[in-house]
Every structure is written in C-alpha cells, then in structure tokens.
Structure 1
Amino acid sequence: MPTRPIWCAGCGDFGVLEALITALDELQVPVHDRMFIAGIGCSGSLQNYLSCYGYHALHGRVLPTATGVKLANPQLTVVGVGGDGDGYAIGGGHLVHAFKRNPGVTYIVMNNGTYGLTKGQASPTSVAGFQDNIEEDLDPIMLGLSIPGSTFLARGYSGQPAQLLQLTLAALRHTAAGHGMSYLEVLSPCVTYNDTYREWRTNVFNIDSEDGYDPGNRAGAFGRMMELREQGRLPLGLIYQGERP
C-alpha cells in the first residue's frame, strides 16, 4: 500500500503525484499492470506513494531499466519517474538513446533546477547564476526535438494542475496506443533550495493556446521553442507528437 510522502510542504512533486493518481484511475489501468521505475533524489520516492509495483533503479538508470521491464512484459503500463539530476546528468546518455529508440514507456521528469535531496547543488537545468553556476541551462525538450526518433514531447507545471493532468493522460494514451515513448517534463519547484514558483508563474507560456501552433511539425516546434527561450519564456503544453512504425 502507498506510504505517506516525505516531501516538504509545497513541493511541486505533489502535483505530479496527484496527476498520476487521477490519470491512472481515469484510464482504468489495473493496479497489477502498473509498473513504476524510479530514480534517485526526492522524486525517486514517488512510486512509494502509489498503488503499483515499483522498483528503485540505480542512479541515472531509469530508462534502460524501464525498457527492459517493458520488453520482458509488454502488457504492463511502464512509467519511469525521476528528477533533472538523475535524468539529465548521469542519465543523459540514456535519454538520448531512448528518444532515438522510442521504447513503449512513459518517462516523467520532475525538473526543479537543483539537486534538492543533497542540499541544493546546481543541476543540468540550473540557470546561469544559480549557486555560482556559469553555464546555460539544458533544455531537454529541444534535445528531444533534435532527435528524429522521438514521438511525444510535452512540458507541464505543478502550478497548473488541470493542464498537467491532461498532459499526463495524453502521455499515457500515446504509449498505450503503441506509438512509443512519451516524455513529459514537469516544472516542479523545490521550495527549500530553489523556490521558483513566482518566477515560473510569470515566465510560463501555454503553447497549446497559441493560434497556428502545430505540434505535428517538428521543425516548427524547434524554431518556436528557440524563439521563446530567447524571450525568457518557458513553453508548456504538448510540444510535439508524431508516430513511428
């Protein structure tokens, strides 16, 4: 049975947990068919709070583990969960090849721009100036767009729960329909070491509401993402969706 979350009050990961609970119930995924593979960090305990089978993978190895589980038992709904440190640093190479291979799993990354569990070091998505970081932050959505194998790229925000639920449902449906990996990044503020609620509330941009935006146009999506990045905006919504045999 699920245990009580140990996250700080106000942690963005609560929003991801609520979206997953609601989406799995709405899609009527049987408990015995739910398999969650979790990484390290605060987000790596998420599977402990769901009614599901769960496995705590080695640091950075969520995607190869999830892929192996899906190959061994294709009937399972396999969901990988982790944070930006786990998924984009030591796990970054696996992410690149998962985009290329397009396995039948859902991958949800809770991005707070820091290593929260180990007390606030800079992560691959930390902005320049955070904790003396001098590098620009990594944009994994743009990385995914640059790899032709990717078929579902989306970004949500814990501060917009209604949209986050719809994106979670869309991600699970994409994979269940046999189209391959669905990747959902969630902006999930760390209230203790990198409280970005106010900043993100100002800078997020719902690309779903933009007239003329086509999530089926990879080149167009990449160009629009670059434009918004140069404006300091963070696009939310279904960024790209396609199909592969």
Structure 2
Amino acid sequence: MSDNGASGNGSANGNGNGSGNGRSLLSLVPKADGKQSMKDFKTDQEVRWCPGCGDYAVLAAVQSFLPELGLRRENITFVSGIGCSSRFPYYMNTYGFHSIHGRAPAIATGLATSRPDLSVWVVTGDGDSLSIGGNHLIHALRRNVNLKILLFNNRIYGLTKGQYSPTSELGKITKSTPMGSLDAPFNPLSLAIGAEGTFVARTIDSDRKHLHSVLRAAAQHRGTALVEIYQNCNIFNDGAFDPLKDPAVRDDVTVRLEHGEPIVFGADRDKALRRTPSGSFEVVNIADVDPAEIAVHDTHNPDPSQAFALSRLDQPAFEHTPIGIFRDVDRPSYDELMRAQLDEAVQAQGEGDLAALLGSGDTWRID
C-alpha cells in the first residue's frame, strides 16, 4: 500500500442528487481540516493511458468530485485489480492498493470491514471483474459490504491488446476471435441486480455532469454501490458507445432515469416506457397512450424486477439505453452487522486474549 499524499449525509433521492433510503456511513469517516480542491487529489505521477482513452475523463471526474465529500484524504483508499483501469490508485492522492487480477473486491472487503473510518473504492474493468473476478464481485454485492465499485466497461481487453472480454458482443471479431466471438456477453447491471445489489447505476465517461451525480449518490449509499461506466477504448474498440454520444441521435437512444419521474425520453420528449403484462418494458409514443400507462421510475422499490427489466432494455444493441440509478434500496451493510456480532461477543465473553488463545489446548514447548 502506498500513500501519495489523504460528509455529507444526502437526502433520499434516486436521481443522482442524494443518497439512498438509509443513513450514510460517511459519518464514520473523519472530515478534512479545510476546504479541498481537485488539485489536492492529483499526484505527481505521469498519467499513462493511451491518448484519448476514456479513463482520463473518469479520473478527472473523480478528482473533481471527491472534494465535495470533505473527507480526509488519508481516510480514502482506492483498490484496483489488473487492467488499464487498475492504474487508477497511482493517480489519486489518497491511499491506494494495486492488487491482483479480479481480487480487488475481496481485498477491499477486508479493508472496509476492519476499518469503518475509511471510504473504500474499488476500480475495476469488465475483464478484471467479470472474468476471473466474477465470483468476488457477486459476493461483495450480495453481502452489501460498504464498498463503492467503479466498473469501467469498454467491452474489450485493452491492456493485453484487444482480445474479446466478458461484455463483448456476440460475433465480436478480435485477435482472439478472428471468426467472431461465440460467447453471449454478460450484462453487468443485470448481474448486479440478480445478486441483490442494493445500489446499481450506469453512466458514461464523457458525460461529466451525469457521472458526478451518480458518484455523489454512490458515495453516500449504505453498503455496496456498483457504478458501470461506459468507457471508450479508442485503440481496440473505438466508437463502441457512439450512439450514446453522437448529438444527432443520443437523445433518441438514451433513456435518462430519475427517481419518482415518468420515464420519458427523446429529442422531442415524445417517447416513453410502458410496462408490459410480462413485466418487461416497451417503448411507446406518448401521443398514443394514456399518461397513466407511462412507467414511473422507482429506485427504492425493494422488488428488483423493475430494475432488472430496465437493465435488459438495450439488449442486444444500443437502440434504447437507460442510464442513471437503476436501484437504490436500504439494507444494513455487512460491516454494520459484523460489528454488532463482535460487540455482542465481547459483552458476553469479554475482550479476549489472543496470546492466551494461541497457547491454549494441545500445545507443548520444545527446549
């Protein structure tokens, strides 16, 4: 672990402008002595990604967002695995841990559960977290450990030079699949919601305002927050998310989710989503339906079926892609439950003596 240098309790709001339903655990993290700026979170290390990489935009967004939290930099840590995104801790003037392939959620779990005074972030990629790290990811989600996981999804293996990844589309032609990939891709949000993740969101590297709002809500969530960030790899998968960025079409294909609001979109705000009898969503023209039929987004619904249906809306292409917070529900974090058990054990049995425990039972001394 290296040290390169170091709250808010938002309101219940699922549109990226507040926290979830429960109390924020940021109150346990020490506050900074004074006002911070983006400069405080930059290191003296040269940022080394390919020119034009979407990681630059995400790094700048995180560095400019963190001062809002007002936390001591010494009580913030970024844990990464292996991949292009995993350079992140080197460029953050906080504590950081560049760990091993796919294991960042497991390492961060130990850190978060043992140190409630820390704000712990995981930075990972679609290859790192959904291949070798898939098991660690889903268990961190189901346990609701107090982690904030930023999943950079560029739908390709960038660091190892362009092989298909777990999120690459079926038929993807790459160096490792010259005739097209035969693997059906993972949908990270569907996976997270299926694992009972309590906070699940999606944003885009180039939409700084939206990225900020989602990060703000994730930081204040009680437990695990997974934020999928569509991130462009301009070397091996350039233009993968162009429909969501092209001013000519983005408003017609991007569905912006806001808690408590009807799900309406389109350049002319003339399209909406309606729930079908089977539970899925369909796109309708507002002029053709009763306003009462238009779905209203509810991030706090404990039933994950609506959030899951929304996560499937853009399958298999980007014809209509939701971004924003899909799910933001309140559940005690793993850390809180563990600390309660420890307190109960101490009250019943006392503090304990590790040396005495190690020396108890069938032990002997060799002179």
Alignment of 1:43-54 (within 5 A): 43-54=85-96
Alignment of 1:150-169 (within 5 A): 150-169=197-216
1:82 alignment counterpart: 124
Unaligned runs of 5+ in 2: 5-42, 174-179, 265-295, 333-367
Task: Provide, for residues 202-233 of structure 1, a one-character-per-residue CA deviation record: whole Å limited to 9, x for no partner.
Answer: 45432337251111232111123223425743
1:135: Cα distance to partner? 2.4
Does residue 110 of structure 2 align to residue 110 of structure 1?
no
Q: TM-score with structure 1 length normalisation? A: 0.92
1:129: Cα distance to partner? 2.1
2:242 alignment counterpart: 198
Does residue 331 of structure 2 align to residue 244 of structure 1?
yes
2:298 alignment counterpart: 214
Letter in 1 for 2:205: S
1:96: Cα distance to partner? 1.2
Tell me: CA distance 1:104–1:90, structure 2 relative to 1, closer, same or farther (3 Å). Answer: same
Rg (Cα) greater in structure? 2
Q: Is the 8 A contact 1:19 1:168 kept in 2?
A: no
Does residue 192 of structure 2 align to residue 144 of structure 1?
yes
State the alpha-carbon separation in 1 of the partners of residues 215 and 92 from structure 2: 15
Which of the two has greater helix per residue?
Answer: 1
1:234: Cα distance to partner? 2.8
Tell me, what secondary structure is at the counterpart of 1:238?
strand
Tell me, what secondary structure is at the counterpart of 2:315?
helix
Task: Provide, for residues 48-100 of structure 1, a one-character-per-residue CA deviation record: whole Å limited to 9, x for no partner.
Answer: 11111111111000000000011221101110101110011000011111111
Letter in 2 for 1:238: I
Q: TM-score with structure 2 length normalisation? A: 0.63
State the alpha-carbon separation in 2 of the partners of residues 46 and 204 from structure 1: 28
Q: Which runs of 4+ in 1 moved over 4 A?
A: none
Task: Provide, for residues 164-203 of structure 1, a one-character-per-residue CA deviation record: whole Å limited to 9, x for no partner.
Answer: 01101111111xxxx2111111000100000124244245
Tell me, what secondary structure is at the counterpart of 1:239?
strand
Unaligned runs of 5+ in 1: none
